[in-house]
Amino acid sequence: MASGLSIAVVGATGAAGQMTLKILEERKFPMRELRAFASERSVGKTVTFRGEPVPIRRIEPGAFKGVDIAFCSAGSAQAKEYAPAIVKAGATVIDKSNAFRMDPEVPLVVPEINAHAARRHRGIVACPNCTTIVTVMPLKPLHDAGRLTRVIATSFQAVSGAGVNGIAELREQTLAWARGETIVPRHFPHPIAFNLIPAIDRFEPNGYTGEEMKLVNETRKILEAPELLIAPTTVRVPVFTSHSIAVTAETAVKITAARARDLFERFPGLKLWDDPAQHRYPMPVAVEGQDDCFVGRIREDLSSANGLSFWVVGDQLRKGAATNAVQIAELLARS
């Protein structure tokens, strides 16, 4: 780590922080130093980076002096507490929480879509919600080609989107079912094994959940389309990794299924998997561990002259979180 940038990872022991370290290593991010931070109970432990142990540091005054870029992989409350101080110390913060996403002074960035926004930052760049990222990737080329007017999106979200507790819950309940034992939900409000839960996050007064409203508000901001009509539904499903979204998109200018396939195939970060006759379409087990989002089941909407329906799947721990954050850091490093 003799040359490059000084990088900090806040929340380095959590799932998002661990994936960030993995992606930094995989993409050979240019760095001369790594500083790892986590909660007080983790201080003194280590994380591994490039085969070497890195000690967990305490978040305290002076800890971020000399840091160029800090990845914040903690919750919203922690991000609001730490990010301003980190910026004051001279670093640029890439935050993965919901703390700053809708702040008009903070760019909300998916590098393949709005890299220009990252250059306008004032110290903080926000990563969108994982479901938003996977959904907006195929929406962008359609928006550029035909101007989106309405989007209906139903997401089928893996339990790892709820962290390590979600993963443990699905595993434990599946084993309990196999042993003939009673399934007792602890982390989710209902059993998740062999079940679907059509609500993620708290319900808001309009009947939609917080997770659903993130998709609405963040998509509008990323696409710079504040009036875009979006109807969201979020569903927790018994899948460990990778979110899937069924999308119907209407455009001002008609886009045929053939044209959409061409647009998707050419767009960076998208892979076309669309051969139903050969049972070839995106599925979570096939997409897990990959950085691209995969799109298939592309067909013209039977209920709308300018409508198009498709299915998109992305690994929400990678492109939906850590990979997107590291791509933002790469943008910042180049500039």
Catalytic residues: 130, 243
At a CB cut-off of 8 Å and minimum separation 6, what does 135 contact?
A: 153, 155, 215, 219, 245, 247, 312
- Amino acid letter, residue 164: V
Please tell me the distance from the alpha carbon of residue 173 to that of residue 127, in angstroms, as a whole number.
32
Which DSSP category does 176 fall into? H
What number of other Cβ atoms are within 10 A of residue 295's Cβ? Answer: 30
Spatial distance between the Cα atoms of 109 and 102, rounded to a whole number of angstroms: 11
Question: Taking the CB of residue 202, how many other CB atoms lie within 10 A of it?
Answer: 8
Q: Taking a C-beta distance cutoff of 8 angstroms, is the pair 127, 325 a contact?
A: yes
Radius of gyration (C-alpha) of the chain in whole angstroms: 20
Whole-angstrom distance, CA of residue 64 vs CA of residue 71: 12
* Contact of 209 with 126, CB cutoff 8 Å: no
CA atoms of 216 and 227, how far apart (whole Å): 10
DSSP string, 211-280: HHHHHHHHHHHHHT-TT-EEEEEEEE-S-SS-EEEEEEEEESS---HHHHHHHHHHSTTEEE--BGGGTB
Q: Which of 55, 29, 63, 1 is nearest to 322 (CA)?
A: 29
Per the structure block, which two tokens stand in for 268?
């960076």
Q: Using CB atoms within 10 Å of the CB of residue 219, give its burial: 0 to 12 exposed, 13 to 18 middle, 19+ buried.
A: buried
